[in-house]
Structure 1
Amino acid sequence: MRIIILGIFILFSLDSFSQKLDFKVLSNEIVLGKSLLDSSEIKGIEYIFPERIEEIYLDTITGFLTVQLRKLSKNGKWLDNFGNILLYDLNKKKLKWNKKIAYQTSDLQQFSNTLIYTTYNNSYCLDIDNGNELWKVKNDIYFVDPKHNIGIGYRIKSLSGNKDELEGINLKNGEVIWKKELNREYTWNNIFYTNDSTLIVAAAGLHSINIKNGSGWDYHTITGKKDYTETIAKNVAGMALGVLTGVGVVSTGHNLVRDIVSNVLLDSLNLYLSSKDQLVKINKDTGEVIWNHPFQGDLQSKSSIFTNDSLVFMINKGYAYMGNRKLNFGTPFIAAFNKDTGEQKYLSLINVKDDPILGFHILDKEIYLVFKNRLAKYSQETGDLVKEISFSEQEYGDLKYFVGNQVFGTNENGDLRNIIQSDTTKVFVFTNNNKIVAVDNQLNITKTIDFEDLNIYYLKTKDYKFFAKDKLTLIIDNEGKKVAEIEATSKAFLIGETLYDRQENSFFAINLTEIINKD
């Protein structure tokens, strides 16, 4: 019965995908800001779409705007599982085509004028001019290299389930040009380039892939845990929630814990990775393991690693993921290892049950850790606990993470200043009640700042910086002079001298030619 229902749903989804619906896109010129130098108006064009915008992609060469529409429920809590893809010509102000998309089972990727639509392990290359299918492969394309016009993904070979044979696909015609075995049972954690044709994929280890022919080395390790029966029932509840919200579950099994792994560190010669079993240093060109430090028991969880001088530091956070749900897992600890030999200098366990590390910050050779309702700091040199303080949830809310360098406040003269640099003796922590607390080196809160009073530094050109507060962007030159105010959020992006932004069901194009100079 389950197979029959699934088959019906697939047929329904593919049929819906091919349907054509009529949409109207309105456009008009509006005032979206003003110059602070001469008070002149800054105008832009607003394109109004019939539904909320989920994703956009702009190809400035053609002027084609790809828009994915997705409604919210009436109460604003849930996302619809179904939506629409629209291809709109900004130059001619004309809708070229539209198609259905099922967000829970489908995905759209665009790279320049190449559109890849993937659903039920089939990938379609769509003609950007009319949305028609150019070719189809029985492959779930994970990643696209636009320079070499090659996509990579996995092929379903039978009804028995997924296989681990990765394929390189020529995006011009859909032909397979290479194949490689690559384990994906714990999903992919990262992918990046080490040169213009070599990828590193972090998936149950590290794998080097020449994008042109699939050649490369492999390092295998364990980055998840199977048969984690303790949380099966909770995970099933999470899957049900995913159906309601339109958020899919990414694990390959309902009882599979994933993300028991660190970030990948890369220097000029080597890669560093921590997994469930060990911390390892690998030659990035050959895949040779230079050293590995094994871990005992089930301490490991999601972690962060970084280097400083001759040491590799590790922050083991004490959580992992099952599907899209975060769960307490492993034991929080901090550790340090010799960068050349892998010898452990120290390992400091943090034996507080079900209280994972949410973030860390390095200040004056001390490691500050933030937890849900407490802060702690450790000596970076010895790993010893220096001080720890709990905070009232009722007074401050839940602590979330340390604030980064992109947050700016206003000083007594009305000028913007990075809040971290405004007092380098303190750390700043964001809470879930939209407050930022300033904490001194004794872990005492000295000041509380409303997040709504702060600005996010989100964009920089050669001569100008862009700061957003809610839906208003302030442009400042390199001398600190305020140049313009524009109605744009921190999601805005600049191409040439035009600033683009999206809000709800509107897309904005704001010409800044009279405001900024070309880079």
Structure 2
Amino acid sequence: MNKLINLLIISFLIQGCSLNKNSKFWTTSKIVEENNEVIYTDVFPKEEALKKEFNSNLKIKLTTKPENSTLVNNYFNNNKRLNFNGTLKKLSQFKFSKIENFNQYQPEISFFKKNIIFFDNKGSIFKFNDESKLVWKKNYYSKLEKKQKPILQLVNNGKYLIVADNIAKYYMLDIKTGDLIWTKDNLAPFNSQIKIHKDKFFIIDFSNTLRCFSIKDGNELWNVKTENSLIRSQKKLSIVIVNNVLYFNNSIGDISAVDISKGKLLWQLPTQSSRIYESAFSLQASDIITDKQNLFISNNKNQLFSIDIKTGSFNWENKVNSNLRSTIVGNYLFSVSLEGYLIIIEKKSGNIVRVTDAFKNFKVKKRPKIKPTGFVVGLRNVYLSTSNGRLLVIEIESGKIISTLKIDNDKISKPFVQNKNLFLIRDNAIIKLN
């Protein structure tokens, strides 16, 4: 009996001692009021993000040929250098019913020739022409579904428009008429880019499952499951396709490669160590982009990775705190940190070439509340949008801020460029500038 009591006491002491500051069960520690001498620190201290300029006087000249637009079905997610150098005079607005919780999502415009396709607060999809005239408007949601105010992801291949939403519905329309071709329901809501490849399309749902569907009838052809997260992140996941292999990220930071024809997992690479795995629910990653040889992805944990596309191994890692899509232009990788610094990196080595402060004109007190929402690299300038409704124009060569345009007082989307026009989304309108 005494032995049993002793064993119970020892077991209790061991369990009690395990609740220290390094225990996996606690993300942060509390100070015990009865003992003022005990000081606890965060289990997962955040590394200091870059907050100073570097080589700010360095001149950078781009020689790569510019593209005419943000590609309709961009397999590589790389916007490249765009043939845009507009005066940014406001031309027109495409107004729609206000999208609630717009700040939480990253909706995108779908372009078809000179037409714009988008959605409103009740899931209505509309197509405008280049003269701001409505071509068609369709809604395929029930009254109950409309009350849920679905957020739609849109992509087209020039013939069909694929739609998937955050209430687990997906369907296909004729892009010319807006007529419904088929509609289906999924087991879980969707929260990723959609990629169309030949007669298939691909999307990731909230269970971190990559699903492959037939364009013909919407039936599922195969799926690849990855580790699920207990917390649903609102940050949209991303997909790239290179040589019949699909690469995607999930909400806990794993990068996976899948053979498109077989639905077979080729490799998987975790980007978050076990040390910070418990805090992965707060992870917000950028879109994956690729130059067809390497993958590039950054996050709000002060990490920017270059990954070999064949082996799934790290080429290099640098400390860049950004959940925005980067852009590859020639040998350079452009990124903007959450603190508002424009960072230019040599893509092969990962060495930082120049850092300039894009937020230097904002007041010191207001600056911590302002976040970048996206950017594009134009002919001579970088166009950077912000969470307080500003569009910053930054000269590429010098890194200097040329102008700051007030578009709105609240969040605006990342910029889109099509037919030498720049488009921005706010919660109740699409703004077109030249």
**TM-score, normalising length: structure 1:** 0.41
Larger Rg belongs to:
1
Structure with more relative contact order (C-alpha pairs < 8 Å, separation 6 or more): 2
Normalized per residue, the structure richer in strand is: 1
**TM-score, normalising length: structure 2:** 0.48
